[in-house]
Amino acid sequence: MKRFLPALVLLAPLGFAQDVMQLTLKRAVDIALTPEGSARVALAEQSVRVSETHVNQARSAFFPNVDGTVNERSQTVNLHTFGFNFSFPGFSIPSIVGPFSIFDARASTQLTVLDFTTIRKYQASRTGLQAAKADLDVTKDQVSEQVARAYLASLREDAAYEAARANVELSEALLRLAQSQKDAGTGTGIEVTRAQVQLANDRQRLIVAENNRRRAVLQLLRAMGLDLKVDVQLSDKLSYQPVDTAAVESLLETARKGRSDLKAQQQHQQTARMNYSAVEAERLPSVSAYGDYGTIGNEIVGAHPTHTIGVQLKVPLYDGGRRSSRKQESLLQVREEEIRTRDLGLQVELDVRLALDSLRSADSQVKTAGEGLTLAQSELEQAQRRYQAGVANSLEVTDAQTRLDRARDNQVDALYNYNLARLELATATGAIQEYVQK
Half-sphere exposure of residue 224, counting CA atoms within 13 Å on the CB side?
27
Residues 6+ apart with CB under 8 A from 161: 206, 209, 210, 212, 213
What is the reported pLDDT for 279?
85
**Listed residue (154, 288, 166, 265) closest to 215, CA to CA:** 154
Residue 118 pairs in a beta bridge with: none
Asked whether residue 352 is assigned to any structural domain, the reply reads yes
Asked whether residue 409 is assigned to any structural domain, the reply reads yes
SS (H, E, C) the chain: CHHHHHHHHHHHHHCCCCCCEEECHHHHHHHHCCCCCCHHHHHHHHHHHHHHHHHHHHHHHHCCEEEEEEEEEEEEEEHHHHCCCCEECCEECCCEEEEEEEEEEEEEEEEEEECHHHHHHHHHHHHHHHHHHHHHHHHHHHHHHHHHHHHHHHHHHHHHHHHHHHHHHHHHHHHHHHHHHHHCCCCCHHHHHHHHHHHHHHHHHHHHHHHHHHHHHHHHHHHHCCCCCCCEEECCCCCCCCCCCCCHHHHHHHHHHHCHHHHHHHHHHHHHHHHHHHHHHHHCCEEEEEEEEEEEECCCCCCEEEEEEEEEEECCCCCCCHHHHHHHHHHHHHHHHHHHHHHHHHHHHHHHHHHHHHHHHHHHHHHHHHHHHHHHHHHHHHHHHHHHHCCCCHHHHHHHHHHHHHHHHHHHHHHHHHHHHHHHHHHHCCCHHHHHHC
Asked whether residue 336 is assigned to any structural domain, the reply reads yes
What is the reported pLDDT for 4?
40
Asked whether residue 149 is assigned to any structural domain, the reply reads yes
Angle 260-261-267 from CA coordinates, rounded to 5°: 90
CATH code at 59? 1.20.1600.10
User: What total number of domains does the chain contain?
Assistant: 1
Asked whether residue 86 is assigned to any structural domain, the reply reads no
What is the reported pLDDT for 88?
66
Asked whether residue 105 is assigned to any structural domain, the reply reads no
Per-residue pLDDT of the chain (438 residues; tens, 9 = 90+): 444 444 444 544 444 445 688 888 999 999 998 878 888 888 989 999 999 998 999 888 888 888 898 888 888 888 777 777 766 676 666 778 778 888 888 898 888 888 888 888 888 888 889 989 999 989 999 999 999 999 999 999 999 999 999 999 988 988 888 888 888 877 788 888 988 998 999 999 999 999 999 999 999 999 988 888 888 888 889 888 888 776 788 888 888 888 899 999 998 999 899 888 888 888 888 888 988 888 888 877 777 888 889 998 888 888 788 888 888 888 999 999 999 999 999 999 999 999 999 999 999 999 999 999 999 999 988 988 888 877 777 788 888 888 999 999 999 999 999 999 999 999 998 888 888 887
What is the reported pLDDT for 368?
94
Domain of residue 346 covers 2-64+118-282+322-437
* φ, ψ (nearest 5 deg) of residue 63: -105, 155
Asked whether residue 102 is assigned to any structural domain, the reply reads no
What is the reported pLDDT for 321?
82
